[in-house]
Amino acid sequence: MTKIRTAALALIAAALLAVSCAGGRPAEPADLILTNAAVTTMAANEPRAEALAVTDGKIVFVGDSRKALMRRGGSTRVVDLGGRMVLPAFQDSHIHLVMGGVESLSCNIAELETKEAVFARIREYAAAHPELPWVTGGGWALPLFPQANPRKEDLDVLVPDRPAILDAADGHSSWANSRALALAGITRDTQDPVGGRIERDPKTGEPTGTLRESAAGLVESHVPELGPADYINGLRAGLAMANRFGIASIIEARADGGILDAYVALDRAGELSLRVLASLQVDTDKGVSEARRLAALRQRYVGTRLKATAAKIFADGVIESHTAALLEPYVDRPGDRGTLLLEPEAFDALARALDLAGFQIHVHAIGDRAIRMSLDAFAAAGRANGFRDMRHHIAHLELIDPADIPRFKRLGVAANFQALWAYPDTYITDLTLPILGPGRSRWLYPIGSVAATGAVIVGGSDWSVSSMNPLEAIQVALTRRDPGDPPGEAWIPEEKVDLATMLRAYTVNGAWLCHEEKVRGTLETGKAADLIVIDRDLFAIPASEIGRARVLLTLLDGREIFRDPSFK
Ligand SMILES: [Zn+2]
């Protein structure tokens, strides 16, 4: 009975469709038509198409080029893409866009290989920024200077007119000029602070300009705090970079005052060129009362493209410094299992309260003990509150105990991987494998195993910790090799995933994570025209070349937010 009725309805629908195509009024002319393209829609039923049309910021047609061109009008822009790829715009689900941008505007001397190159960069930066009262930044490599001890006299020549302080790449030393030392009152008579050392000339006892550990704080306490304009300028720099990489939506990984003010300011000015879901920083010491404070922020920081409906909790630290919380001790430190940043009972209570208050919980968890505790807390929230569809997620997920892998799917918790980290660089070979040992190292970045359970996988860069380019991270998830390497043997090959899985992670699954899957994330009629054009079809090239592909065009609500100069 039911079957017959369905069939009859389908016939009626088909007849109506035929009428509207043949004799109905013609569709409104499109603003933009992309033809002759490798359109990957990320929709479940119609994965590939040839053409797409956009009107008023929305996708109005997906299909073949001939039919798309029927929507051409006098002011329609038509672009023949010559086989290039069209995808939904990317979402970065864990990024520090404002602070990364602020950092990118400071004097960046990372990855320079000679002292001369460092000096040249500092001189250029100081000349380009006469308005700054201080020159700050850093990234200098210790081996460039004798005894890892750069001299204030050199920095005095490079920055003669203002104080300057530049951090070493490892963050444990700083290099100051004479003006900075004078402002901080550091002389030959100044005692070394607890936990720090002022490097001195062995003959004269004069400070040389290098400050170790806490000694840097003597100068840093004089650096002016960031003001609203610094945050806004940082956000502008971050937006430009994100749009260039095809990113039209983000989850800000850790937001508070100055960061939120910058987002809301640019949203009101119409300059926020991507969608933002801000994860509000939770002060875990304050416990469940945080739910109330965060609810007030959620109400205050809302805009056209901004919402602050997530809460961020740090569960542990990082493996390299033995601060990630492990189920079994570090190999080189008997009895030391790292540190949980809050007790499981406190986490359960907090998760219950935040879940009940309608917050999505975004956790930083790296070690297998911190990950298990986070999953336990989500389970506790579910038992207490029932299913509330909050779409909680855990970011980083470096070491997952195999027993916990099926729990993501079971609990409806998304796995937020930073796939660019999943290859054996020196952080892994020198600082991770030796302290985890071979057995559990098999379970580092188990993206394939989590994906195989059917759990939702999403992707993020953690920029400025690592490259913002989603295509590089996608490549590494497929190859488990250095993105700069040619094809070869994968690291833990069982954990490789396929291209479709990773494209979903950066598009449709990201939209789902933001509760926006009904309005964006796939290229389907009626959805927002958040899309990108890539210079080659990713499905037609070897995985080891994906990171070299380039985004040529990024649209948000049909509006161009990035165009490569080579793309006409
Ligand atoms: Zn982060």
With 80 as the cut, is the pLDDT of residue 237 above it? yes
Q: What is the pLDDT of residue 7?
A: 42
Q: What is the pLDDT of residue 77?
A: 97
Distance 451 CA to ligand 1 centre (A): 22
Distance 96 CA to ligand 1 centre (A): 6
CB atoms within 10 A of CB 265: 17
Distance 188 CA to ligand 1 centre (A): 40
* Cα distances (angstroms) measured from residue 464 to each of 4, 252, 469: 58, 12, 11
Distance 336 CA to ligand 1 centre (A): 24
CA dist 290 and 288 (Å) reads 5
Backbone angles phi, psi at 244, to 5 degrees: -65, -30
| pLDDT (mean) for 374-396 | 97
pLDDT band at 58 (very low <50, low <70, confident <90, very high): very high
Distance 66 CA to ligand 1 centre (A): 46
Q: What are the helix (H) ranges across 97-144?
A: 97-105, 115-128
With 90 as the cut, is the pLDDT of residue 558 above it? yes
Token readout for 357 is 């208050």
Distance 48 CA to ligand 1 centre (A): 34
pLDDT band at 25 (very low <50, low <70, confident <90, very high): low
Q: Measured on CA atoms in the order 88, 94, 100, 104, is the torsion positive or negative?
A: negative
Cβ atoms of residues 2 and 48 within 8 Å:
no
CB atoms within 10 A of CB 252: 27
Strands (E), 302-352: 306-314
- The DSSP code sequence of 505-562 is HHTHHHHHHTT-TTTSSS--TTSB--EEEESS-GGGS-GGGGGG--EEEEEETTEEEE
Q: What is this structure's pTM? A: 0.89
Reference 552, options 544, 542, 562, 560; nearest CA is 562
Distance 482 CA to ligand 1 centre (A): 21
Distance 395 CA to ligand 1 centre (A): 8
The b/e string for 310-337 (b: 16+ C-beta within 10 A; e otherwise) is bbbbbbbbbbeebebbbbeebbeeeeeb
Q: What is the pLDDT of residue 186?
A: 97
Backbone angles phi, psi at 127, to 5 degrees: -70, -35
Distance 154 CA to ligand 1 centre (A): 35
Reference 132, options 104, 100, 164, 110; nearest CA is 164
Tokens 């073949």 sit at which residue?
64
Token readout for 48 is 């590939």
Distance 94 CA to ligand 1 centre (A): 6
Distance 448 CA to ligand 1 centre (A): 22
With 90 as the cut, is the pLDDT of residue 19 above it? no
With 80 as the cut, is the pLDDT of residue 487 above it? yes
Which letter does DSSP use for residue 367 in this model?
S
Task: Report percent pLDDT > 70 for the chain.
Answer: 95
Distance 252 CA to ligand 1 centre (A): 9
Q: What are 243-253's pLDDT values in tens digits?
A: 999 999 999 99
Tokens 């209570």 sit at which residue?
349
- The DSSP code sequence of 13-62 is HHHHHHHHHHTSPPPPPPSEEEES-EEE---SS--EESEEEEETTEEEEE
Q: Measured on CA atoms in the order 534, 539, 540, 542, is the torsion positive or negative?
A: positive
Distance 209 CA to ligand 1 centre (A): 31
CB atoms within 10 A of CB 514: 25
Q: What are 426-470's pLDDT values in tens digits?
A: 889 988 999 999 999 999 999 999 999 999 999 999 998 889 999
Q: What is the pLDDT of residue 26?
A: 65
Distance 365 CA to ligand 1 centre (A): 10
With 50 as the cut, is the pLDDT of residue 14 above it? no
Distance 230 CA to ligand 1 centre (A): 20
Distance 324 CA to ligand 1 centre (A): 14
Which letter does DSSP use for residue 364 in this model?
E
Distance 163 CA to ligand 1 centre (A): 30
97-105 and 228-244 helices cross at what angle (nearest 10)? 100
Q: Give me the chain's average pLDDT, please.
A: 94
| pLDDT (mean) for 474-499 | 97
With 80 as the cut, is the pLDDT of residue 23 above it? no
Distance 95 CA to ligand 1 centre (A): 6
Distance 5 CA to ligand 1 centre (A): 53
Q: What is the pLDDT of residue 97?
A: 98
| pLDDT (mean) for 33-46 | 95
| Residue ranges with CB less than 5 Å from ion ligand 1 | 253, 462
Q: What is the pLDDT of residue 68?
A: 97
